[in-house]
């Protein structure tokens, strides 16, 4: 049984949006009662569109945002605000936008060396050697050592971000849409690099993406997020063979493979992206909604390869091991 | 037979040497861009000239700026019919050589400009960066302070403080330094808010950087652009304010050769001997123009977008 | 006669380091009622091509073409006044970023009616009526209320629908959509593309779709032109091009994409090594040869655009050898 590196227990995050001096602040529940476990050596993919809360979840996993309620555990130990430095040695991020994730005023070497400096690892000479080692590892020419981000392409910048994330040899890497802003050919290079590094360094990935084709290629387990809640969590094979939640089905139908004989699918989900007050959050858009969906929030239905929250799904008996 | 592969530190320095040889030196690119910017070059030359003159004042000035000679009052400059070469720019109402006073006056203006900007810049940047980075209640309180300061009429407050403290060079610097920080605060606050939202600041926090390190090493270098422009504007502003204060008698006190004071002392001769106020006024214009050209030019050439 | 004919279009941009050849000798034509997709990655020149057709290039850019004809009008020599009369009226453009393409200071209704009244003398009431009609057509609920809303009150998907409605206000013959769904969520993307397909059938619209997404292009386009480093390297009917890609770049691109059910999970994706060549300064030979696994000495010479099948052309001298090896 693989060790659990990262865990969230009933984590909720609520934002208060000030409406000015004279009106009461509105609350926005970005993440609602999410629980998950990331095991060592796996790729756990989180799928969600804009407004799903996936970025807020990532920030909480990185210790950048405290949860309003619930616990976050790294290596089995709950973390608080004071543990941020310790946690940072074990959990590191790779962000989506290669143009805003690197300080434009710092050289590549200064960017990659920062984690070593902050954590007081090694001396000047050994740190420089490590930076060169990381450049080799991510496939960047050493002549970029003193270059500035402005001189590098998107793909090259993302490699720098990867080098920076891995220099402390973290156990978990939180990848927040690391290839969404890149060209197709560059995306393939970076994904290949991520797979290779995972094998070489024994990494665990928490991979956030809206691109289901990429998720199918990389993930071991997948969770689908909608308006702050997990609506389905399955093994990769289980989810792609038989998606159960209507939202997951719509997402999967929206994946456009380069097949000229197929047209554009009609997913039949509505355009209203606000949650309903009661009942299932997806109900306003769901093509299969029934009466109970409007009134009662759906309970967890266990499936053979995971679970989902939908009134229309029957429970499946989990085979006894 | 090939030599055995170097290990450890040798490998590191070897690799480094190779890398240093391959990359172009980044200083030269900045220099090239600077020399190509006409405003920067023009302003730079003027400013360097004025600074050089100020520094070399004792060597350049033909006479002692404080030496009065009532027999030689109001001699016109050399381009006038009655001018003579001993007093190239003429003399003022007390017979002091104008060129010497002008040259020593440059020291005062530059001193005031620089020190005031250092004081006000530090105060304003600290307030602005904290307000922009921390947000929330900190921002609310600091913004209130800034708004209060913005509501004060600077010239009147400067006059009142100067009247209280008594006019003097140090007094002027302290009063202006404590008053002129508002633009710094406003500009650095909005610049900091933009930078604080970027992914690289989030990455720095995720790496475990302390707040101080983030403020100094991630935020400050990226607001430098905006800061330089404000600093030059405020320097010019301070120099002009000092001239105004001295003109009104509440700034630098005679016999110091402040350009503002020189204008004040010459105001009664404005129609008969226009050079008495014309020359220091022209000097003020040149200095302020030079500072602004340099500030704009620096902002243009150091913008990160310009890095190839 | 084709609605739009472009022959040997070039766009050069003068920089301090030299001349950037953003578009070099691009030729294509669009028949009425068909959807042509121009596919390429960043730096391929696809956006520049569309801006060149509409003459919306940045000031430093120079455009030349042997032939640039839109429905009989010679766009290469048309004065700016003529171009203004055409833009928004007979040729409309939909941009990528719905956040910044709509003016945040004016209501939706205001912007829609302006699009129409700029080219037709109709009253405000009539213009508003048409705006409501089109908003309903593009699937925006409560259209009448939306007229008085501001862009920031709408989501990204709704804003893009407003952009499409705006493009349709004058009933244009040609719509150029530059990455219309790239900034949108996947489910919204499918809806918008579905909408465009419906409108195409209903209005008989001709469309040039610019995209980097091969999936979108395969599903939507009738004909495709693949661009690389400012040139069209392969073009033809979508079916033919996707079933049997002839150019190594097209093949490389298709191999890069993970396809659920086809690419084995966890295996390395086919990647194209290297990066885009420098577009500044004179070039000769095939721009792709440094990255091509099939490059040969003849790739450094003149590369003609030859037929590789009915309605399928490729700019590659090794295409024949490739086919034999496949």
Residue B19 has pLDDT above 70, yes or no: no
C266-297 pLDDT, tens per residue?
888 988 888 888 888 888 889 998 899 888 88
pLDDT at B21: 35
Give yes or no for a contact between B33 and B301, defined as CB atoms under 8 angstroms apart.
yes
Question: How many structural domains comprise chain C?
Answer: 1
d(CA B202, CA B209): 10
Task: Kindly tell me if the per-residue pLDDT of B11 is higher than 50.
Answer: no
- Is residue B10 pLDDT above 60, yes or no? no
CA–CA distances in Å: residue B124 to residues B121, B179, C161: 5, 10, 46
Task: Tell me what the mean pLDDT of segment B217-225 comes to.
Answer: 91
CATH classification of the domain holding C59: 3.40.50.300
Per-residue pLDDT at B308: 34
pLDDT score, position A157: 94
Q: Of A93, A103, A142, which has the smallest distance from its Cβ to B222's Cβ?
A: A103
- C199 Cβ under 8 Å from any chain A Cβ: no
Please indicate, yes or no, if residue B18 is contained in any of the structural domains: no
Ordered DSSP codes for A265-309: ------S--SPPSSS-TTGGG-TT--HHHHHSPPPEEEETTEEEE
Cβ within 8 Å, pair B218-A103: yes
With pLDDT > 70 as the criterion, what percentage of chain B qualifies?
A: 88
**Adjacent-strand bridge partners of B105:** none
- The two tokens of residue C158 are 């709704």
Chain A hits for C45, Cβ within 8 Å: none
CATH number at residue B152: 1.10.3720.10
pLDDT category at C325 given cuts 50, 70, 90 is low
Nearest by CB to residue C260, choosing from A240, A262, A266, is A240
Task: Count CB-CB contacts under 10 A for residue B107.
Answer: 18
Q: How many CB atoms lie within 10 A of CB C82?
A: 14
Residue B2 lies in a domain: no
The residue range of the domain holding B264 is: 35-306
Closest CA to A44 of A286, A217, A247, A223: A223
pLDDT of residue B304: 57
Cα(A221)–Cα(A43) distance, rounded to whole angstroms? 7
Please tell me the predicted confidence (pLDDT) of residue B29: 63
C134-157 per-position pLDDT tens digit:
998 888 888 888 899 999 888 888
DSSP A23: S
Number of separate domains in chain B: 1
Specify the DSSP class assigned to residue C153: G
pLDDT at B140 over 90: yes
* B218 contacts A129? CB cut-off 8 A: no
CB A39, CB A2: distance < 8 Å: yes
Give the largest Cα separation in chain A, rounded: 68
- Assigned domain for B289 exists: yes
Q: Supply the pLDDT for residue B124.
A: 96
Structure confidence at residue B252 (pLDDT): 85
Q: Is the Cβ–Cβ distance between B243 and B277 less than 8 Å? A: no
Q: Does residue B8 belong to any structural domain of this protein?
A: no
pLDDT (tens place) for every residue of chain A, 321 residues total: 578 999 999 999 998 877 666 777 788 889 999 999 999 999 999 999 888 899 999 999 988 888 999 999 988 888 877 777 888 889 999 999 998 999 999 999 999 999 999 999 889 999 999 999 999 999 999 999 999 998 898 899 999 999 999 999 999 999 999 998 888 889 999 999 999 999 999 999 999 998 899 999 999 999 999 999 999 999 999 999 999 999 999 999 889 999 999 888 888 787 666 666 778 888 888 888 888 888 888 888 888 889 999 888 888 776 666
Residue A319 confidence (pLDDT): 67
Does residue C326 have a pLDDT over 70? Answer: no
Instruction: Give the SS3 label for residue C19.
Output: strand
Q: Using the predicted structure, report yes or no on whether residue B9 has a pLDDT greater than 60.
A: no
The pTM (predicted TM-score) of the whole model is: 0.85
Q: How many CB atoms lie within 10 A of CB A296?
A: 12
pLDDT tens sequence across C97-126: 877 888 989 999 999 999 899 888 899 999
- Which of B22, B207, B224 has its CB closest to that of A118? B207
Contact B19 A62 (CB under 8 A): no
How far is it, in rounded angstroms, from Cα C54 to Cα C94? 12
Cβ contact (<8 Å) for A95 and B199? Answer: yes
B1: how many CB neighbours lie within 10 A of its CB?
Answer: 3
For residue B75, what are its two tokens?
A: 């001699």
Question: Quick one: which of A285, A220, A237 has its CA closest to A49?
Answer: A285
Q: Is residue B76 part of a domain?
A: yes
pLDDT for A296:
85
pLDDT in tens, B74-100: 888 888 877 788 888 888 888 888 888
In chain A, residues with a C-beta closer than 8 Å to the C-beta of C135 are none
Quote the pLDDT of residue B18.
37
Residue B30, pLDDT > 70, answer: no
**Torsion over CA: A225, A226, A228, A231 (sign):** negative
Residue B263 tokens, joined: 């204008």
pLDDT of residue B4: 40
Quick check: is C156 in a domain? Answer: no
* Shortest CA gap B150–chain A (Å): 22
Strand pairing report for A300-303 and A43-47:
unpaired
pLDDT tens per residue across span B231-288: 988 998 899 888 888 888 888 888 888 888 888 888 888 888 888 888 899 999 999 9
Which of chain B's residues have a Cβ under 8 Å away from the Cβ of A85? 208
Q: Which residues contact B24 (CB under 8 A, 6 or more apart)?
A: none
Interface test with C, best of A43, A99, A259, A260 (most C CBs within 10 A): A260
List Cβ neighbours of A179 (8 Å cut-off, separation of 6 or more): A158, A186, A187, A190, A191, A209, A211, A214
Other residues' Cβ atoms within 10 Å of the Cβ of residue A299: 10
pLDDT in tens, C24-39: 999 999 999 999 999 9
Interchain CB contact of C158 with A (< 8 Å): yes
B115 domain residue, yes or no: yes
pLDDT at B23: 37
| Nearest in space to C315 (alpha carbons), one of C255, C230, C246, C252 | C246
Contacts 24+ apart (CB under 8 A), B130-139: B131/B185, B131/B189, B131/B192, B132/B188, B132/B189, B132/B190, B132/B191, B132/B192, B132/B193, B132/B195, B132/B196, B133/B192, B133/B193, B133/B196, B133/B211, B133/B214, B133/B215, B133/B219, B135/B193, B139/B189
* Among B116, B50, B115, B124, residue whose Cα is nearest residue B286: B50
Contact C242 A258 (CB under 8 A): yes
Residue B20, domain member (yes or no): no
Share of chain C above pLDDT 70, in %: 99
Closest CA to B260 of B245, B271, B275: B245
A123 touches chain C (CB under 8 A): no
User: Does the residue B266 lie in any domain?
Assistant: yes
Instruction: Identify the chains in contact with C, defined as 3+ C-beta pairs within 8 A.
Output: A
Which is nearest to A221 in space by CA: A303, A281, A283? A303
Quick check: C213 contacting A, CB < 8 Å?
yes
Residue scoring higher pLDDT (B15 or A90):
A90
**In A, residues 150-209, which contact C (CB 8 Å cutoff)?**
153-155, 183-189, 191-192, 195-196
| Sign of the alpha-carbon dihedral angle for B117, B120, B126, B132 | negative
Give every CB contact of residue B94 below 8 A, 6+ residues apart in sequence.
B68, B70, B73
pLDDT higher than 60, residue B12? no
pLDDT for B22 beyond 60: no
Residue C314 lies in a domain: yes
Contacting residues for A147 by C-beta, under 8 A, at least 6 apart: A107, A108, B23
SS3 for chain B, per residue?
CCCCCCCHHHHHHHHHHHHHHHCCCHHHHHHHHHHHCHHHHHHHHHHHHHHHHHHCHHHHCCCCCCCCCHHHCCCCCCCCCCCECCECCCECCCCCEHHHHHHHHHHHHHHHHHHHHHHHHHHHHHHHHHHHHHCHHHHHHHHHHHHHHHHCCHHHHHHHHHHHHCCCHHHHHHHHHHHCCHHHHHHHHHHHHHHHCCHHHHHHHHHCCCHHHHHHHHHHHHHHHHHHHHHHHHHHHHHHHHHHHHHCCCCCCCCCCCHHHHHHHHHHHCCCCCHHHHHHHHHHHHHHHHHHHHHHHHHHHHCHHHCC
Predicted local confidence at residue A174, as pLDDT: 95
Name the minimum distance, in Å, from the CA of B247 to any CA of chain A: 44
In a domain, C178, yes or no: no
CA distance C256 to C5: 32
How confident is the model at residue B303, as a pLDDT? 66
Averaged over B195-219, what is the pLDDT?
Answer: 92
- Among A251, A256, A273, the residue with its CB nearest the CB of C215 is A256
What are phi and psi for residue C288, nearest 5 degrees? -95, -5
What range defines the domain where residue C43 resides? 2-85+212-262+269-325
Q: Which two tokens stand for residue C43?
A: 């730096």
User: Which pLDDT score is estimated for B271?
Assistant: 86
- Judged by CB atoms closer than 8 Å, whether chains meet at A128 and B213 is answered as no
Kindly list the distances between the CA atom of residue C301 and the CA atoms of B152, B167, C281, C317, in Å, as whole numbers in the listed order.
Answer: 74, 81, 17, 9
Q: With respect to residue C77, please indicate whether it lies within any of the assigned structural domains.
A: yes
- The whole-angstrom separation of Cα C90 and Cα C172 is 4
Query: What subunits make at least 3 CB pairs under 8 angstroms with B?
Result: A
Q: What is the mean pLDDT of residues B213-242?
A: 90
User: What's the mean pLDDT in B197-213?
Assistant: 92
State the pLDDT at residue C293. Answer: 87
Chains touching A (3+ CB pairs < 8 Å): B, C
The answer to whether the Cβ–Cβ distance between C256 and A49 falls below 8 Å is no
pLDDT tier, C298 (very low <50, low <70, confident <90, very high otherwise): confident
Residue B207 has pLDDT above 50, yes or no: yes
Question: Per residue in B100-129, pLDDT tens?
Answer: 889 999 998 899 999 999 999 999 999 999
Q: Given this model, what pLDDT does residue B6 score?
A: 37
């Amino acid at each position: 049984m693989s060790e659990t590196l990262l865990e969230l227990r009933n984590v909720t995050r609520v934002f208060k949006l000030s409406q000015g001096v004279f009106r009461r602040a509105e609350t926005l529940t970005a993440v609602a009662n999410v629980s998950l476990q990331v095991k060592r050596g796996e790729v756990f993919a989180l799928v969600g569109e804009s407004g799903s809360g996936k970025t807020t979840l990532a920030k909480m996993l990185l210790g950048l945002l405290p949860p309003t309620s619930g616990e976050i555990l790294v290596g089995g130990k709950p973390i608080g605000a004071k543990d941020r430095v310790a946690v940072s040695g074990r959990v590191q991020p790779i962000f989506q936008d290669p143009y805003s994730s690197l300080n434009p005023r710092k050289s590549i070497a200064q960017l990659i060396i920062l984690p070593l400096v902050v954590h007081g690892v090694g001396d000047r000479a050994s740190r420089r050697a490590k930076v060169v080692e990381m450049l080799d590892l991510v496939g960047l020419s050493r002549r970029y050592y003193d270059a500035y981000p402005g001189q590098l392409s998107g793909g090259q910048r993302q490699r720098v971000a990867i080098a920076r994330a891995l220099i402390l040899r973290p156990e978990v890497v939180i990848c927040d849409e690391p290839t969404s802003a890149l060209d197709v050919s560059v995306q393939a290079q970076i994904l290949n690099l991520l797979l290779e590094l995972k094998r070489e360094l024994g990494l665990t990935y928490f991979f956030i993406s809206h691109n289901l084709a990429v998720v199918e290629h990389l993930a071991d387990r997948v969770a689908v997020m909608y308006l702050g809640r997990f609506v389905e969590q399955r093994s990769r094979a289980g989810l792609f063979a038989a998606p159960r939640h209507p939202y997951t089905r719509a997402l999967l139908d929206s994946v456009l493979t380069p097949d000229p004989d197929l047209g554009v699918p009609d997913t039949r989900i509505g355009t209203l992206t606000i949650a309903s007050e009661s009942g299932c959050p997806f109900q306003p858009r769901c093509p299969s909604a029934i009466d109970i969906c409007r009134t009662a929030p759906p309970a967890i239905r266990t499936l053979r390869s995971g679970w989902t929250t939908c009134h229309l799904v029957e429970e499946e008996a989990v085979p006894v091991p | 037979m090939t030599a055995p592969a170097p290990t450890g530190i040798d490998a590191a320095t070897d690799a480094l040497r190779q890398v240093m040889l391959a990359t172009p030196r980044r200083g030269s690119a900045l220099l090239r861009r600077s020399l190509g910017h006409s405003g920067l070059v023009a302003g730079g030359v003027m400013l360097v000239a004025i600074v050089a003159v100020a520094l070399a004042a004792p060597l350049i000035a033909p006479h002692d700026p404080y030496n009065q000679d009532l027999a030689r009052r109001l001699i016109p400059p050399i381009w006038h019919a009655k001018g003579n070469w001993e007093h190239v720019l003429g003399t003022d109402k007390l017979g002091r050589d104008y060129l010497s006073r002008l040259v020593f006056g440059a020291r005062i203006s530059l001193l005031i400009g620089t020190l005031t900007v250092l004081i006000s810049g530090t105060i304003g940047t600290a307030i602005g960066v904290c307000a922009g980075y921390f947000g929330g209640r900190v921002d609310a309180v600091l913004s209130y302070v800034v708004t209060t300061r913005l509501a004060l009429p600077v010239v009147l407050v400067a006059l009142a403080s100067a009247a209280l403290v008594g006019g003097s060079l140090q007094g002027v610097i302290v009063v202006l330094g404590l008053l002129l920080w508002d633009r710094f605060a406003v500009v650095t606050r909005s610049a900091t808010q933009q930078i604080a939202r970027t992914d690289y600041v989030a990455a720095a926090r995720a790496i475990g950087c302390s707040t101080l390190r983030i403020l100094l090493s991630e935020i400050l270098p990226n607001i430098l652009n905006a800061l330089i422009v404000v600093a030059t504007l405020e320097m010019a502003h301070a120099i002009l304010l000092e001239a105004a204060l001295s003109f009104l008698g509440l700034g630098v006190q005679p016999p110091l050769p402040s350009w503002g004071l020189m204008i004040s002392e010459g105001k009664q001769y404005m129609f008969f001997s226009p050079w008495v106020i014309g020359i220091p006024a022209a000097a003020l214009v040149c200095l302020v123009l030079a500072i602004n050209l340099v500030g704009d030019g620096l902002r243009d050439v150091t913008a990160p977008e310009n890095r190839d | 006669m084709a609605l739009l004919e472009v022959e040997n279009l070039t766009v050069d941009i003068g920089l301090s380091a030299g001349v950037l050849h953003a578009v070099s000798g691009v030729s294509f034509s669009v028949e009425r009622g068909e959807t042509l997709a121009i596919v390429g990655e960043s730096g391929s020149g696809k956006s520049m091509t569309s801006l060149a057709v509409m003459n919306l290039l940045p000031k430093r850019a120079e455009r030349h073409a042997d032939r640039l004809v839109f429905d009989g009008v010679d766009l290469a020599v048309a004065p700016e006044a003529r171009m203004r009369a055409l833009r928004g009226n007979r040729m409309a453009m939909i941009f990528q970023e719905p956040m910044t393409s709509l003016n945040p200071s004016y209501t939706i209704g205001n912007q829609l009616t302006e699009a129409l009244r700029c080219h037709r003398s109709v009253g405000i009431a009539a213009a508003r009526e048409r705006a409501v009609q089109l908003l309903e057509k593009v699937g925006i609920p409560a259209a009448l209320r939306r007229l008085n809303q501001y862009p920031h009150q709408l989501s990204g998907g709704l804003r893009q629908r407003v952009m499409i409605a705006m493009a349709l206000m004058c009933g244009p013959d040609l719509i150029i959509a530059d990455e219309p769904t790239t900034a949108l969520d996947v489910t919204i993307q499918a809806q918008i593309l579905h909408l465009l397909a419906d409108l195409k059938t209903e209005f008989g619209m001709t469309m040039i779709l610019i995209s980097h997404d091969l999936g979108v292009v395969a599903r939507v386009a009738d004909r495709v032109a693949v661009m690389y480093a400012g040139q069209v390297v392969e073009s033809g009917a979508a079916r033919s091009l996707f079933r049997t890609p002839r150019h190594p770049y097209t093949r490389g691109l298709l191999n890069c994409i993970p396809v659920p059910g086809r690419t084995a999970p966890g295996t390395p994706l086919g990647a194209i090594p290297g990066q885009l060549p420098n577009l500044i300064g004179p070039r000769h030979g095939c721009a792709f040869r440094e990255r091509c696994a099939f490059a040969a000495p003849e790739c450094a010479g003149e590369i003609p655009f030859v037929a590789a099948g009915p309605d399928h052309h490729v700019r590659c001298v090794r295409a024949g050898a490739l086919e034999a090896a496949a």
